[in-house]
Chain A
Amino acid sequence: QKEVEQDPGPLSVPEGAIVSLNCTYSNSAFQYFMWYRQYSRKGPELLMYTYSSGNKEDGRFTAQVDKSSKYISLFIRDSQPSDSATYLCAMKPGNDYKLSFGAGTTVTVRA
């Protein structure tokens, strides 16, 4: 079993729809949770960062962490074609240098 599970998709939605992405994990020591966006042939870009459980909102993006279920989510409201990318979840314990990554979900927003 992988430490972080993420459905690779692909996921295709019409413009304006809500995109829902999620990851599950097995390590209860994870405390920091991140979502990265990666455009084709580019480096990952940090989108959202959350510490412990709870919700965080930034514009059209909302990140949720449920540590009791070991489940994290990213929601993109009013999706745009420019949101078409691969989304990677990542997480780490508080006392470790290393991140554990999901495999990434490829999202296409159709105009």
Chain B
Amino acid sequence: SQTIHQWPATLVQPVGSPLSLECTVEGTSNPNLYWYRQAAGRGLQLLFYSVGIGQISSEVPQNLSASRPQDRQFILSSKKLLLSDSGFYLCAWTPGDIGETQYFGPGTRLLVL
């Protein structure tokens, strides 16, 4: 069966510090991968998605970036965090091609102070 992992689970970072969040999927190959942000009391905002290694599509211009160095690994990064980057970051995956639905990881809670 497929499993999706995210770490760290919780992170507290000062403004201006760098960020690296990691997501890995087990038990499948060539998944589509997604990064979302969920602000408190708000819906899910798609940040990036990837259909293959090195292929990244950005949905929202911001100080975040994403990379996919391996087939089942998706990384969310920032060089300098802003207060507004605080939120709950979720990674999701679908089987290859279009995929019918998405399966979410446990999330990383980021607090920028």
A residues in contact (CB < 8 Å) with B: 8, 32, 34, 36, 41-46, 49, 51, 88, 90, 94-99, 101-104
Contacts and interface: CB of A to CB of B under 8 A. Distances in A.
B104 A43 contact: yes
Q: Which one of B32, B99, B102, B107 has the highest number of Cβ atoms from chain A below 10 Å of its Cβ?
A: B102
Contacts of A96: 98
A51 B103 contact: no
A106 B100 CA distance: 25
A34 B101 CA distance: 7
Contact of A94 (B88, B94, B98, B102): B98
Contacts of A49: 100-101
Contacts of A41: 88, 107, 109
A44 B32 CA distance: 17
5 contacts: A45-B104, A46-B104, A97-B49, A99-B102, A102-B43
A41 B101 CA distance: 22
A46 B104 CA distance: 8
A43 B100 contact: no
Contacts of A94: 98
A99 to B, nearest CB: 6
A42 B107 contact: yes
Interface in B68-113: 88, 90, 94, 98-107, 109
A94 B100 CA distance: 8
Contact of B99 (A44, A45, A97, A101): A97
A43 B101 contact: no
A91 B100 CA distance: 10
Given A42-B106, A90-B102, A98-B59, 5 more contacts: A43-B106, A46-B101, A88-B44, A97-B32, A101-B43
A44 B104 contact: yes
A80 to B, nearest CB: 22
Contacts of A8: 41
Nearest to A96: B98
A71 B59 CA distance: 27
Given A43-B90, A44-B90, A97 B100 contact: no
